[in-house]
Structure 1
Amino acid sequence: MKLMASKKKRDYQPFEDMLRGLRKRLQGDVQSMSDAALHGGDADGDLSHVPTHLADQGTDAFDQEFTLSLVENDEETLQQIDAALERLRTGQYGDCLECGKLIPKQRLSAIPFTAYCVTCASKLQS
């Protein structure tokens, strides 16, 4: 049993590295997008942060909402990554949470934080 656990951990080490790298990148993205959306990160050099035209105000509001929706999406992905790292820690990584079958490594390579095999993911989405 112990040999199987160490083999499994070794087999999934590249996925752990991928997850940690993705997590680090997304955390940086979330931080910079949050700062830009909430503090008016203006890249064009306008220091007043006060739009001079009604259309500018609408554009600024749209940009802020869009950026905040991206932040929310990235935060959800970070939660999925943290859950995947926990499954790695407990030895459950790579097992579908719905049917219990092994998730193919090709799928894990494409979506390393997935918790479901393709069949179960399709069923859950419909």
Structure 2
Amino acid sequence: MLKENELENFRQLLVSIRARLRGEIEHLTSEALDRTEVETESHSPTHMADMGTDSFEQDFSLRFAENES
């Protein structure tokens, strides 16, 4: 059985990892959503294949963030 101070060290490590992952998730989510805003504000023509790729990347980023939280 682990001693109390060993458990506390592991708890602090897990809290630190959780905070880092939450930051990464927020960044991925923000990046995916910001990309959509920029694309909708642009009035330049976009090839449908590019739109499909961007949609896939946004969906992938959001699903990854959802699975990590």
Identity of aligned residues (%): 37
Task: Establish whether residue 21 from structure 1 lines up as the match of residue 16 from structure 2.
Answer: yes
Number of matched pairs = 63
Q: Distance in 1 between matches of 2:61 and 2:16?
A: 22
1:73-105 per-residue CA deviation (whole Å, 9 max, x = no partner) reads 111xxxxxxxxxxxxxxxxxxxxxxxxxxxxxx
Q: Which has the higher helix share?
A: 2
Structure 1 runs (4+) greater than 6 angstroms displaced: none
RMSD: 2.0
Name the structure 2 match of 1:39.
Answer: 34
Matches within 5 A, 1:1-126: 8-40=3-35, 49=39, 50=42, 52-75=46-69
- Give the TM-score taking structure 2 as reference length: 0.76
Cα distance in 2 for residues equivalent to 1:59 and 1:52: 11
Q: CA deviation at 1:11?
A: 2.1
Which ranges of structure 2 fall in alignment gaps of 5 or more residues? Answer: none
Structure 1 residue 34: deviation in Å? 0.8
Q: Which runs of 5+ in 1 are unaligned?
A: 1-6, 42-47, 76-126
Give the SS at the match of 1:40: helix
Report the TM-score when normalising by structure 1: 0.45
Structure 2 distance, partners of 1:63, 1:13, is: 39
